Amino acid sequence: MWGGRFTEKPASVMEQINASIDIDRRLWRQDITGSRAHCEMLMRQNIIPRQDGEAILNGLTQIEQEIESGAFEFRRDLEDIHMNIESRLKEIIGEAAGKLHTARSRNDQVATDFRIWVREAATSAMGGIEELRNTLDTLSQTHKDSIMPGFTHLQPAQPVTLGRHLDAYAQMLGRDKTRLEDCARRLNFCPLGAAAMAGTPYPIDRDFTARTLGFEGPIPNTMDAVSDRDFAAEFLFCAALCGIHLSRLAEEIILWSTPQFGFVRLSDQWSTGSSIMPQKKNPDAAELVRGKTGRLNGNLVQMLTMLKGLPLTYNKDMQEDKEFVFDSFDTILLCLEAMNGMLSTATFNTGRMLKSAEDGYTTATALADWLVMNLGLPFREAHHVTGAIVKMAENQNAKLHELDLTDMQKIEKRITKEIYKVLSIR
């Protein structure tokens, strides 16, 4: 491609460090889409003859079919997806292929392809989130009256319902989705026309290419257009945070499926056994969802670190950007699906949850609130009185609702039998 100035071929390690085709071949569809729009614009603006433009478009269609059918040969020596496609175009249509790159650089080309890719990825990830959210919504409805202990510090705190517990995750996922929407909206501007970085002298129509490719409009500053990858970093953050939400849910499933908790039973489809301990049923999928946050966070940190300190505009460091994004996309989609599969086939042991909610004096706060609301005690004093009642219950080895009224009245004489309304779990 740049033979004019070079007399020697690249060293083989140079080729190895330079080539990105094994990774960026995933951009092939977006690259062809971008080239089509660019070519159409060149024809409309009479920058290239219509005949050449038609030949280019036909050639691109043939390449599309070759890649789809698996017949296309991706070559390392051609570095990246852009050069692979352009080189094949030349084999198919001859010299006219060389006109496609008029008024364009790989810098604005790759930035355009990548934005389109991330935009699509964000949409797919939102779909995955939505599916899991539907499952959580259904479960929350089913369990809107299933009582369980709510925890703080993983100590029994107050009785809640499983419905509300699961809905908390549905809420988090709802925000994860709007974060992706936001990311997709902010990135939706087109780099094409920036060329290498300073724009191009041809009478191009940036509005046309932007519109054709579904962008809001062209990116106003050509240097910004080719050099920022903030959209990719944002996508990685969205994936990482969503992964963290999933990881917290995964952790609960892991805890809840232990015999000690016994709140949930995973289906056989979503469990694994042990090669030595025949009794084992392990929540591997949940553990992997938890474990994969390492990757998701790592990818974000890699992107931020790669970008940090790069002078404007394009630097080859930026070729490293795609691998992180592809990996985070695959990972988050897999985690969402696994979580969905696990939850929709799990059985919750609501009896066990109810029993567990009765342990640990989880209605003590309700008792204190009753003292405030009915006897006018200051909350701190009510807290103190309740503490004494809990201690008494502990000594009698009884639940709060099993205590005698007279015993409670020894601690606070104004307590009435109305108190029992808030002492039982229900």
Q: Which residues bind ligand ARG (CB under 6 A)?
A: 20, 24, 80, 106-107, 110, 314, 316, 318-319
Distance CA 190, CA 38 (A): 12
The catalytic position among 227, 274, 344, 424 is 274
Which residue bears the tokens 């159409």? 40
| Cα gap 148→120, rounded to integer Å | 40
| Nearest to ligand ARG of 197, 285 (CB atom) | 197
Active site residue 101: no
The catalytic residue among 12, 69, 153, 275 is: 153
User: Strand, coil or helix: what is 190?
Assistant: strand
Smallest gap from residue 15 Cβ to ligand ARG (A): 13
Question: Given the complex with ligand ARG, which of 104 and 245 has the nearer CB atom?
Answer: 104
**What is the rounded CA–CA span in Å between residue 22 and residue 28?**
11
Taking alpha carbons only, the member of 421, 424, 370 closest to residue 159 is 424
**Nearer to ligand ARG by C-beta: 328 or 356?**
328
Backbone phi, psi, residue 49, to 5°: -60, 145
CA distances from residue 206 to 193, 195, 291 in whole angstroms, order as listed: 6, 11, 44
- The minimum distance between CB 352 and ligand ARG, in angstroms, equals 54
Q: What is the DSSP string of 69-86?
A: HT-----GGG-SHHHHHH
153 is catalytic: yes
Q: How far apart are CA 176 and CA 238, in angstroms?
A: 7
Closer CB to ligand ARG, 162 or 306, in the complex: 306
- Specify the residue, 84 or 328, whose C-beta has the smaller distance to ligand ARG: 84
Minimum CB–partner distance for residue 318 and ligand ARG (Å): 5
In whole angstroms, the minimum distance from the beta carbon of 154 to ligand ARG comes to 46
Query: Considering the complex, what minimum distance in angstroms separates the CB of residue 56 from ligand ARG?
Result: 20
Instruction: State the Cα–Cα distance between residues 84 and 75, nearest whole angstrom.
Output: 7
- Structure tokens, 213: 């490719």
Catalytic residue numbers, as ranges:
153, 274
